[in-house]
Structure 1
Amino acid sequence: MIKVFGKLRYHWQPELSFFVIYWSLAFIPIFISMALLLENTKISKSSLSFFFVFIVLFGIGIHRYFVISDDKDELLVYSSIPGLPRKHPISGISRIDISKHTLKIFSKNWPNGKIFYMKKWTKKYFLDALVSNEYFMGEVELIGNVNDYFDIYKDEKDRKKGPKAL
């Protein structure tokens, strides 16, 4: 979760198989670049080009995040193509399944669900912002042993609000 220009970005990664394949392929050019650099005593053009390919793939791989619009019924999903978000209506989300490492979002655009891997705190704050959005009408379902995980977060929020008035 990063705040850029007043908007919160909630970073995610794709399904595990695609995640492993993509990052394996993304790191190959840097190893080839280092091997070429060790073979020669000077920096060659091929070594620099492999390093540049690595930087581009790394930038594309990090550029995956959600942005929740406060004033519109939009969940912007930024993925591999920089600058081109996919807009999904928040009111169209019917269900969110939460497991220890993933979110599975069911909506009109994703009737079978789409899996997103997120870090622990990013997932908590993303769900908090999404559920508290006025356009969200779906349900949230905890799958597996994550009840304690979200109860701790709920207790933290209650402590920050202070005691409730009677």
Structure 2
Amino acid sequence: MIKIFGQLRYHWQPDVSILVIYWSLSVIPIFVGLALMYESSDVPILVLSFFFLFMLLLGIGVHRYFTIYDNGILRIITANPFTPSKIEIASIRKVEVTKTSITLFFNGKTKGRTFCMRKWPKKYFVNDLARNDYFQGEVELVDNLLHIDYFATYYGDKDS
């Protein structure tokens, strides 16, 4: 969770299988570049291009976040330009919270979108989303995580 230009950004990662595949593929160019640099005494342009490719994949990999706007819009920033990036908060039917991820279910769709998040960004994101005036859905806690302290707040009143 980072505050940039007055807006909070809640960082997420895709599903665990996609996450492992993506990061494994993104570090391959740096190792290939280091192996090529080890084989020669100078730094060829190929090594620099592999390093640039690694930096590009690194930038794309960490450029995934949510932003909640005051006018009832949830913006999902992802590397895929074909997914919708602006979603109305009122169209969220249910939010399932697990230990490592959240799943957003939208009105009219049976399948949800899963986003892996760390503990504290997830806590603040779900808290800010559930307390938003436009949110009409429900927050469901799964995986028997009722004993964790920050989940207990969702059994109380929404205004407290």
Common fold by TM > 0.5: yes
The equivalent of 2:53 in structure 1 is: 53
The equivalent of 1:96 in structure 2 is: 95
The equivalent of 2:62 in structure 1 is: 62
How many residues are paired up? Answer: 153
Contact 1:79 1:85 (8 Å CA) reproduced = no
Q: Distance in 2 between matches of 1:152 and 1:105?
A: 17
Question: Map of 1:16-31 to 2, 5 A cutoff?
Answer: 16-31=16-31
Question: Map of 1:114-125 to 2, 5 A cutoff?
Answer: 114-125=113-124
Root mean square deviation, CA, Å: 1.9
Instruction: Rate the CA distance shift 1:110–1:59 in 2: closer, same or farther, 3 A.
Output: farther
Structure 1 residue 37: deviation in Å? Answer: 1.2
The equivalent of 1:13 in structure 2 is: 13
Question: Map of 1:38-49 to 2, 5 A cutoff?
Answer: 38-49=38-49
1:21 counterpart SS class: helix
1:148 counterpart SS class: coil
Structure 1 residue 148: deviation in Å? Answer: 2.1
Instruction: Rate the CA distance shift 1:85–1:56 in 2: closer, same or farther, 3 A.
Output: farther
Contact 2:96 2:139 (8 Å CA) reproduced = yes
Q: Distance in 2 between matches of 1:105 and 1:46?
A: 42
Q: TM-score, normalised by structure 1?
A: 0.86
The equivalent of 1:32 in structure 2 is: 32
Please tell me the residue identity of whatever aligns with 1:48.
L
Q: Percent identity?
A: 45
The equivalent of 1:134 in structure 2 is: 133
Structure 1 residue 15: deviation in Å? Answer: 1.0
Structure 1 residue 151: deviation in Å? Answer: 4.2
Contact 2:146 2:152 (8 Å CA) reproduced = no
Question: Map of 1:74-113 to 2, 5 A cutoff?
Answer: 74-81=73-80, 86-108=85-107, 110-113=109-112
Corresponding position: 1:147 with 2:122? no
1:126 counterpart SS class: helix
Q: Structure 2: where are the runs of 5+ without partners?
A: 154-159
Instruction: Rate the CA distance shift 1:7–1:153 in 2: closer, same or farther, 3 A.
Output: farther
